């Protein structure tokens, strides 16, 4: 879907996401199981890169994003065992229990996405209202809204537009962290898609809030008056 990106970076993001899920009890311990006991019994000639591929395949059943490499626009076919080996070796010192906000920020940094976002400028959202997060931030703004306003649900209140593989991966990690099933809230849409296609599905929907990145921080949809025309009646918040 999107060209470019680093397989090792994507793999590292998935590994931490899986380990955190296992530690929380939402997934059976496989990656974090002492001595990889179950894997060692059944692996045969398979390497640890195969372990990640199998865990990702299993995770993709409920969370196609971030776990389906095809949906993200990446591939794990050429992943080397040493990437997974290094992660497993570093697990004892990994901070897998850090706060949800700190975790998502760290994943965004790993994936090369901007993290200096003025989240405090976001408004209170009512449970019946809809939020569109513009391409560029990969769900970080919706993550903040949902994690700080318990009455909101990602799949009910939010739509996250993603323009790169890294944004799709992070948005999937956001959904995973918030316990949001499937990936219906995540839409592949670049800034150019929204600029050039006035029939784009996102431009046909009604939103109460449209949130995104300020131009000086890298936001690509820079004409506020144009955004207001595209999303008539929505409150525009660039942070």
Q: Which band of pLDDT confidence, cut at 50, 70 and 90, is reported for residue 5?
A: very low
> CATH says 119-238 is which class?
alpha beta
b/e per residue 88-103 (b: at least 16 CB within 10 A): beeeeebeeeeebeeb
Those residues with Cβ within 8 angstroms of residue 103's Cβ, 6 or more apart along the chain or in another chain? 20, 177
**Residue 215: what pLDDT?**
79
| Mean of all residue pLDDT scores within the chain | 91
Q: What is the pLDDT of residue 1?
A: 38
pLDDT at 223: 65
Give the tens place of pLDDT for each residue, 53-83. Answer: 999 999 999 999 999 999 999 999 999 999 9
Quick one: which H or E segment has residue 85? helix 81-90
Please, which pLDDT band fits residue 153 given cuts at 50, 70 and 90? very high
Of 161, 215, 223, residue with least CA distance to 186:
161
pLDDT at 10: 97
Q: Which pLDDT value is given to residue 224? A: 67
223, containing H or E segment? none
For range 146-164, the mean pLDDT: 96
Token pair in block for residue 207: 């939103």
pLDDT in tens, 96-140: 999 999 999 999 999 999 998 988 888 899 999 999 999 999 999
Angle at 107 between CA 101 and CA 112, to 5 degrees: 125
Please report, rounded to a whole number, the percentage of residues in the chain having pLDDT higher than 70. 96
pLDDT at residue 225, rounded to an integer: 67
DSSP E strands: which ranges in the chain? Answer: 131-133, 158-162, 186-188, 209-212, 235-238
Determine contact, residues 136/168, Cβ cutoff 8 Å. no
Q: How far apart are CA 2 and CA 164, in angstroms?
A: 6
The pLDDT score that the predictor gives to residue 229 is: 79
- Across the range 86-91, mean pLDDT stands at 93
pLDDT of 3 strictly over 50? no
Q: What is the pLDDT of residue 2?
A: 41
Show the beta-strand stretches assigned E in 13-156. Answer: 131-133
Residue with tokens 């680093």: 6
Partners of 159 in the β-ladder:
132
Determine the longest span between alpha carbons in the chain, in angstroms.
61
Task: Return the sign of the alpha-carbon dihedral for residues 107, 213, 169, 156.
Answer: positive
Domains of the chain, by residue range, sit at 7-97, 119-238
């Amino acid at each position: 879907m999107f060209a470019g990106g680093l397989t090792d970076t994507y793999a590292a993001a998935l590994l931490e996401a899986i380990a955190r899920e296992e530690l929380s009890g939402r997934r059976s311990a496989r990656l974090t199981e002492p001595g990889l006991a179950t894997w060692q019994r059944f692996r045969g000639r398979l390497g640890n890169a195969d372990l990640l591929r199998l865990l990702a395949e299993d995770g993709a059943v409920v969370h196609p994003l971030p776990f389906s490499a095809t949906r993200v626009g990446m591939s794990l076919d050429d992943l080397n065992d040493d990437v997974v080996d290094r992660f497993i070796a570093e697990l004892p010192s990994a901070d897998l229990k850090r706060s949800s906000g700190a975790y998502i920020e760290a994943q965004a940094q790993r994936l090369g996405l901007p993290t200096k976002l003025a989240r405090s400028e976001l408004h209170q959202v009512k449970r019946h209202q809809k939020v569109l997060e513009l391409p560029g931030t990969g769900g970080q703004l919706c993550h903040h809204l949902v994690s700080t306003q318990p009455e909101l649900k990602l799949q009910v209140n939010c739509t996250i537009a993603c323009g790169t593989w890294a944004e799709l991966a992070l948005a999937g990690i956001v959904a995973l962290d918030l316990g949001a099933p499937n990936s219906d809230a995540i839409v592949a849409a670049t800034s150019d898609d929204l600029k050039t296609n006035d029939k784009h599905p996102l431009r046909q929907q009604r939103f109460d809030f449209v949130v995104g990145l300020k131009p000086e921080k890298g936001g690509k949809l820079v004409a506020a008056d144009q955004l207001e025309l595209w999303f008539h009646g929505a409150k525009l918040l660039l942070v």
